[in-house]
Structure 1
Amino acid sequence: MTQEQKNSGVEETFISHLIELRNRIMRAAIAIIVVFLCLMPWAAHIYDLLAAPMINALPVGSKMIATGVITPFLIPVKVTLLLAFVIALPWVLYQLWAFIAPGLYTHEKKLIAPLVISSSALFIMGVAFCYFFVFGVIFHFINNFAPKSISVAPDIDSYFDFVMTMFIAFGMTFEVPIVVIVLVRMGLVSLEKLKAIRPYVIVGAFIIAAIVTPPDIMSQMLLAVPLCLLYEIGLLVAPLFVRATQAPTEEETT
C-alpha cells in the first residue's frame, strides 16, 4: 500500500467519524426538541413548580413579578427547555456512549460507562437536594429576616438566574466523588495524598460555599457540609473502582 493510499484511508476514516458524530448530535438534539415541544403546553405550570419553594416562603397572597416585556413568556420557555434536556439526558448520553464505545477496550468500557452514568445521576441528585431541601430553608430564612416595612416580590428573571446558579453549584458539588475517583484511577494523585489534604479540602469547601451561595451561614453550611461528606465518599469508593476497572496488564503488575 502506497503512502497516498494510506493518507486517503486515514482521511476517509476521519470523515466517516465526523459524519457519525454529526448524526449522533442530530439525534440527541431532535430528542430534546421533541420533548420540549411536548412540554410546551405546560410551560407555565412547569415554571410554577420551579417557583413553588419561593412562593411557599412568601407571605400569603404574595406573588412574584415580571418587569420585562417578554419575560413572562421567555422565562417559562427557558425552564421548559432545561427540563426537556434533563428528560432527554439518558438518550443524549446513549448517543455519546454509542459514538465512543467502538474505539474502547473492554477495561476502558468498564471505566467510562460507570462514570458517565454515576456522574449524571449525582448531578441530578444535587439539583434535587437543592430544590427539595435547600430552597425551602434558604427562602424561609431570607423572607423571615426581611423587615416588615418591605414587600417581598422577587422578579422572575432574577429568580431564574439565582435558581440556575444554585442548581449548578449543588450539581457540581455532588460530582466531587467522581473527581476523586478519576484522580486516583488515572494516577494523578494518590489516595494517601488526598487523605492528607483533607483539612485543606474542608477549608476550601467553606470558601467555595461562601462564594456561590447567599451571604448567610445557613446556605454556606448546606453546601459545604455535603461537599465534605461527598469527598469522604469518594475516598472510600476510589479503591474499589480502581480494582474493578484495571486492565489485564495492570492486574499482572499489581
Structure 2
Amino acid sequence: MILIKLGGSVITDKSEYKKFNREQTARLCAEIAASGKGVLVVHGAGSYGHVLSKQYQLQHGLQDFRQIPAVAQVQHDVRELSLNVVEEMIKVGMPAVSVPPGSCFVMDNGRLIVDNPESIKALAHIGVMPVLFGDVVADRSKGFGICSGDQAMEALAKIFKPDRIVFVSDVDGLYTADPKKAENAKLIPDVDGKMLDKLDSELTVADVTGGIRGKVDEMLKICGDSGECILVNGTVPGRLLSLLKGEDVPCTKVRP
C-alpha cells in the first residue's frame, strides 16, 4: 500500500481564499487510479485553511475568544475542500470518504493523539478509502490546535505501515534555495537527518503548519516507521503516475 499526501499547494491556490484547483486535482486523482496501486490519501488544507488560520493565529491555540468563530469557519471550509477532493476521487472509481481529524482525533500541546483508530481501520478493511486532511482539532492543553496534513500522514503511517510514502507538492523536491526565486537553485535528490540542519529553511513560502522545515521534520518522523518518503511535483502531468509505476522521475527521497 502507498500513502499519498496531495499538498495544499497543488489542490488549491494558496494565495486566494478558498480557491480550489479542480482540474489539477482531477488529473492527480486520475493518475492515482490509473496506477492500479492500493493507496490511502491525505490532503492539505491549502487556502481553505491557511488564510484564516494565519489571520487569527489558530496555530497558537486559544488566546482570545474572538478566535472561536474562526475555528468554526476553518472547520467548515476544510470540510468543503475535502468533499471537493473526494468528489474527484469518486469520479475515477476510488471509494473515498472524508474523515475529518477534528471529529476523531485530539491533540495535546500540538501533538496529535490517536487513541482509537478503529473506525479508520474498519473502513480500510472493507475497501473504503478514508481521506484525512488538515483540520482544527481540540487540544487538551491549548483548547484547540491545527492538525496538519503531515501530522495526519504520520498517524496513518503508524497505523497502516505503508510500503511507500509520497508527498505531492508544487516543486520537484527540496532545493538548495527557493526554485521559484533563485535560478541557481539545485534539486537535492536525497536527504537524511544529518543533512537537515544544512538545508535552507526558506525553500518555499512559510505557512502556518511550519513551512518546508516542518515538512522535512514530519517526513523524517514518518521515515522512522516506513524507511523512505518521496517528495514529487504534482503540477507536471504524468509525473505522479510515473512515480507510482516505479519509474525514475525528478524527486527528493527523504530517509532517516
TM-score by length of 2: 0.26
Structure ranking higher in helix proportion: 1
TM-score by length of 1: 0.26
